[in-house]
Each structure stands twice: as structure tokens, then as C-alpha cells.
Amino acid sequence: MIERFIYDFGRYILLLGQSFGGPRKTKTYFKEIVRHMHDIGIGSLVIVALISLFIGAVTAVQFAYQLGGTLIPRYYIGYIVRDMTIIELAPTITCLVLAGKVGSNIASEIGGMRQKEHIDAMEIMGVNTASYLILPRMIAGLTMIPLLVFMAASISIAGAYLASVPMGFFSGDEFVKGLGMFYDPYNVFMMFVKSVVFAFIVITIPAYQGYFVKGGSIELGNASTAAVVFSNIFILLSDYIIALILTS
Amino acid sequence: MIRVEKIYKNFGDLEVLKDVSVHFERGITNLIIGRSGAGKTVLLKILIGLITPSSGEVYYEDTNFYSLDKKQVRKLRMEVGMLFQSSALFDSLTIDENIRFPLDMFTKLTTKEKTDRVNYCLERVNLEGVNKKYPAEVSGGMQKRVGIARAIVMKPKYLFCDEPNSGLDPKTSITVDKLIQEITQENNITTIVNTHDMNSVMEIGEKIILLQDGILAWEGSKSDVLVRGNDMIQNFIFASPFLQRLKDKALKNEND
């Protein structure tokens, strides 16, 4: 198992190296980048918005319940929701969802191209297939996923307000007061660092799984599953490492 | 010309190709034939560098393919066209975009020059006016012809065809075969066709190579098959009782 991991890790690194190589035709790549930006960004808007809205709502309601009857002021809920969302929930949950939606799509798309000999056809034309298939997705992902995470954080906070204030858990003023308390821009920086690292994982691990797929539809399904599972594992692992590094 | 010298290929303990040495000539259609599992596809993939041989050399003219670095391989591949068994057309691109793809990637031609070249290639395979259609919107035979158009768009010096007739009716097969032969002769290119189709062998087999269990079992032209063909090639080509009877009749008529 360790041997297999080392083999896969080495091949993954080599593939990444190859994906930064030439030859490249800027115009052709630009078209691909725009297409993937649309697929990743616009294509994930609804699901990310929905999940963020409910995460914010549930977080606010849960904390209102937890802090009820304690001496902690209620406006602290706004502060807790803000920091939990920015530091952890928005980047991590959004990227776990995107690993399922975008990651499985990338693995299936590239794997399907491998099975239908499209990648062989490009290789024979002289195309650097790793670069053509992975680099535009990487650029699109590294641009769009942090934006989605930022949007998720905003919607999540709005969701917290909408779920709590009209229900009478606390007043709008209290919530806004809490949101403005102890604000540290470094947390937003941390959110963007996480989202960039997670975006890299969400794009490259599924691309690797799809690029080297062998066999038929069962193997393609397995590659897609592996893409999601490994992306999730590495997102959580890197979340922990980033938290250690950036908060120490 | 492409020359293959002492090619061996093993997959684990399985020896797929054993000591295969052959040369494929320019300006004629070279056919690789053999039963399923004989090693035809492996040989073709070794020729184009999709599989590395266990040992042996492949020469494009005087250039040893396996001594080239990645950059040189990519440069050489711009002189190669390939028609895949499945056509391997990109589903998300129109037929026009499929054929234009290598031009967009590797040339500095203007849009008009590219359009002219694409239209010429489509005309050459008798498919004018299908530019805006997607591969899924045309028949299997038309997809094969689009595959040929894409293979020749960069004016290749070497053309490889993997099972060009698979899944096609006999009439369309003959059209595709003739097209490959005409393009080969017009452009004086080295064409290598991997086929199961015995009609192709007898129609366009200017040079035929029979692989049997990974060994080069016979080499000759279509006219040699009856005259100096051994039992192995004759039993392979005239496998069905019907073809066997036709062959016997033809030989009898010749003797009479």
C-alpha cells in the first residue's frame, strides 16, 4: 500500500510538471480557460449558494440555542458565525462540495477522453496533453474557487441573519454589532489561502485519476470515486496543516 | 519510409512481439494483418510511440525514433497523421473545429488560410458542407472520413490507420480504403494500415505483413498472396469456406 502511494505520488508530481510544459498556443488555451471558468464558477453557483445559506442559518440557530441561558452576550453569535464561516466553514465545506461536483466531473471527462482515444489522438498530433487538459482547468479553478468561497462566506452570514433575526433569536442590531467585533483581516487572508490550496487539490487530484484511467466504465467509475475520496482526504489534511501553520 | 529493427515487446511474462524487423515503404499502402491478439495494434502503437518496445529500434527515414527527446518527438509527430479505430473525434467540437484543431495548435496560418485548408480536406474526403455538424450527428462512415480529413490536415509524411473499416458496411469500407490509397499516392506518403478486413487486403494491399503470435509470418503484396503465399497467409485470408471455394475456382480458371 505504501509502495502504491509512493508510485502514485511520484506520477502525480511528474504529471504536474508536465502540465506546466509547452508547447502552448495562448489563444487555444484562453478559450479552454474561459470554458472551464464557466463550468466551475457559474456551474457551481446554485449548489454553493444553497449549501452556504443553510450552513449559516444552522450555525446561527445552533449557537443561539447553545448560548441561551448563559451570561455570554447574544451579540457574540454574530461574531462566532462570522469567524467560523470565514475561517473554516466557507472554504472547507464549499471545497468538499466542489470535490464532489467539479472533481468527479473532471475525472470522468478526462478519463472518458482517455478511453475514447482522444488523448492518444492529441499525443500523436504533438499536443502536450497534460498541459492542454490540466493547465486551463487549474487556472480556471484557482480563479473561480476562491471567488466561490468568498461568495459562500457572504451568503452564509446572510443566511445566519435571515434564519435568526426574523425568528427573534436576537435583534438585527445585536447581530450586526457581533459581526463588527474583534474583526481581524488576517482571517480573510487565511480563508483565501485555504481556498487556493483546496482549489489546487480539487482540480489536480481528479485530473490525475482521470488521466491515467485504464479499462472500461467500471474503472472510470472507480476513478471518479477515488477522485472525490482522495480530494476530500487531502482537503481535510491540508486544512489541518494550514491551520497549524497560519495560527502558530 | 519507416524501418523497424528487431522489435521485442513483453507485458510481464507475455511476449507479444518477437524479433519483428520490417520496413514500410513510401507512396504505397502498407498493411499489417493478423488474428486478434497477434500483436498488430501493439506494433502500430510502438511505431507511433504510444507504447515503448522492450527492445529494438524504429527509424523514420534515418532518424531513430526512440533516441529522440520529448521536444523532437513532438516535432516529428507533427508529420504524422492517424486515423483511429473509433475515429477519436472530440465530441464537444464541431467537425470543422475537429479538423482545425491541429492547425490552431501548431500553425501560424490566418483564419482564412485555416478555413481553406479545412474545406479542402473535407472536399477531399467528399464531405463538403458538414462543417457545423457535431461528430454525433453524422454516420460512422462519415466519422471515419472526418478522421481521415483531420489526419491529413497538417500534410503528414506518415499516415497510420488503425482498423479503418471496423463497424462499416462493405461498400463504405471500400470507399474508405480507396480514399486512403488515393491520399497515399497523391501525397507520396508512408501509410500503414492495421486491418482485419480481407477485402482491404485484396484491394489496397500493396505491401502486406502477416503477424502470427507476435512473429512476422509472411511479407508480400496482394498479388503475391495466391502466387507465392504460404498456407498460413492463404488460410488467414481465405478463412471462410466461401472464399476458399472462390480461390480454388480462380486458381482452376488460371490453370485451364
Position B179: which residue type?
A: L
User: Is residue B136 within 8 angstroms of chain A, CB to CB?
Assistant: no
pLDDT, tens digit, for every residue of B163-190? 888 878 888 888 888 889 999 999 899 9
Tell if the CB–CB gap between A124 and B50 is shorter than 8 Å. yes
Q: Best interface-test mutation with B: which of A32, A38, A117, A131 has the largest number of B CBs within 10 A?
A: A117
Q: Which residue has the cell 470522468?
A: A108
Q: Nine-digit cell at A73?
A: 452576550
Tell me, yes or no, whether A160 lies in a domain: yes
Instruction: Tell me how far apart the alpha carbons of residues B8 and A11 are, in angstroms, rounded to a whole number.
Output: 26
Q: Which residue carries 441561551 as its cell?
A: A68
Instruction: Name the β-bridge partners of B209.
Output: B32, B219
Cα–Cα distance for residue pair B72/B101, rounded to 1 Å: 21
Asked whether residue A184 is domain-assigned, the answer is: yes
Is the Cβ pair B77, A123 closer than 8 Å? yes
Q: What is the rounded distance in angstroms from the CA atom of residue B245 to the CA atom of residue B187?
A: 38
Residue pair A209/A223 in contact by the 8 Å Cβ criterion: yes
Q: Is the peptide bond before A23 cis (omega within 30 degrees of 0)?
A: yes
Specify the amino acid at residue B162.
D
Q: How far is A160 from chain B (nearest CA, A)?
A: 41
Nearest to B47 by CA among A114, A124, A23: A124
Q: Minimal Cα–Cα distance from A31 to chain B, Å?
A: 12
Q: Which of B11, B105, B159 to mutate to test the interface with A (most CBs of A within 10 A)?
A: B105
Q: Which three cell numbers stand for residue A130?
A: 497534460
What mean pLDDT is predicted for residues A225-239? 96
As a dihedral over the C-alpha atoms of residue A105, residue A110, residue A112, residue A116, rounded to 10 degrees, the angle is: 160
CB contact under 8 A, B106 and A125: yes
Predicted local confidence at residue B229, as pLDDT: 62
CB B101 within 8 A of CB B87: no
Q: How far apart are CA B77 and CA A211, in angstroms?
A: 21
Question: Nearest CB to B88: which of A23, A120, A126?
Answer: A120
Residues of B in contact with A117 (CB under 8 A): 84-86, 88
Q: What is the pLDDT of residue B245?
A: 80
Considering only CB atoms, A23 lies closest to which of B74, B82, B84, namely: B74
Residue A6 domain flag = no
Q: What is the pLDDT of residues B19-62, one digit of tens each?
A: 999 999 999 999 999 888 888 989 999 999 889 999 999 999 98
Render pLDDT for A91-118 as a digit per residue (tens, 0 to 9): 999 999 999 999 999 999 999 999 999 9
Q: What is the largest CA-CA distance in chain A?
A: 71
CB-based contact B102 A117, cutoff 8 Å = no
* Distance separating alpha carbons of residues B126 and B120, to the nearest angstrom: 10
Instruction: Indicate the pLDDT class of residue B217, thresholds 50, 70 and 90.
Output: confident
The Cα–Cα gap between B120 and B133 comes to 17
Q: How far apart are CA A114 and CA A127, in angstroms?
A: 14
Yes or no, beta carbons of B74 and A120 under 8 Å apart: no
Nearest CA in chain A to B155: A125
Higher pLDDT, A7 or B170: A7
Domain with A215 in it: 24-247
Residue A163 in any domain: the answer is yes
Q: Which three cell numbers stand for residue A50?
A: 444553497
Domain boundaries, chain B: 2-222
What is chain A's Cα-based Rg? 21
The mean pLDDT value for A56-79 works out to 86
Distance from CA of B155 to the nearest CA of A (A): 12
Q: What is the mean pLDDT of residues B58-78?
A: 89
First to last CA, chain A: 33
**Cβ–Cβ contact B82 with A under 8 A:** yes
Contact B86 A116 (CB under 8 A): yes
Residue B236, pLDDT above cutoff 80:
no
User: How many alpha carbons fall within 13 Å on the CB side of residue B118?
Assistant: 22
Q: How many CB atoms lie within 10 A of CB B219?
A: 13
pLDDT given at position A197: 97
Alpha-carbon distance of B76 to B70, in angstroms, equals: 10
pLDDT value at position B228?
66
Distance in Å, alpha carbon of B221 to nearest chain A alpha carbon? 28
Interface confidence, given as ipTM, is 0.81
Candidates A28, A123, A126; nearest CB to B104: A28
Superfamily of structural domain B2-222: P-loop containing nucleotide triphosphate hydrolases (3.40.50.300)
| A124-149 per-position pLDDT tens digit | 888 899 999 999 999 999 999 999 99
Q: What's the pLDDT at B203?
A: 81
Residue numbers in B near A25 (CB within 8 A): 104-106
- For chain A, the average pLDDT equals 92
Cα B61 from Cα B2, distance rounded (Å) = 6
**pLDDT given for residue A246 in this prediction:** 92
d(CA B108, nearest CA chain A) in Å: 10
Q: Do the Cβ atoms of A123 and B86 come within 8 Å?
A: no
DSSP string, chain A: -HHHHHHHHHHHHHHHHHHT-S---HHHHHHHHHHHHIIIIIHHHHHHHHHHHHHHHHHHHHHHHHHTTSSS-TTHHHHHHHHHIIIIIHHHHHHHHHIIIIIHHHHHHHHHHHHTTHHHHHHHHT--HHHHHHHHHHHHHHHHHHHHHHHHHHHHHHHHHHHHTTTTSS-HHHHHHHHHTT--HHHHHHHHHHHHHHHHHHHHHHHHHHHT--SSHHHHHHHHHHHHHHHHHHHHHHHHHHHHHHH-
Reduce the secondary structure of chain B to three states and give it as a string: CEEEEEEEEEECCEEEEEEEEEEECCCCEEEEEECCCCCHHHHHHHHHCCCCCCEEEEEECCEEHHHCCHHHHHHHHCCEEEECCCCCCCCCCCHHHHHHHHHHHHCCCCHHHHHHHHHHHHHHCCCCCCCCCCHHHCCHHHHHHHHHHHHHCCCCCEEEEECCCCCCCHHHHHHHHHHHHHHHHHHCCEEEEECCCHHHHHHHCCEEEEEECCEEEEEECHHHHHHHCCHHHHHHHCCCHHHHHHHHHHHHHHHC
What chain A residue is nearest to B102 in terms of C-alpha separation?
A125
Q: Angle at which helices A43-67 and A76-84 pack, to 10 degrees? A: 140
> Is residue A94 included in any domain, yes or no?
yes
C-alpha span between B111 and B123 (Å, rounded): 18
| A8 part of a folded domain | no
Angle at which helix A129-164 crosses helix A172-180, to 10 degrees, equals: 140
How many folded domains does chain A comprise?
A: 1
Quick check: B20 and B66 in contact, CB under 8 A? no
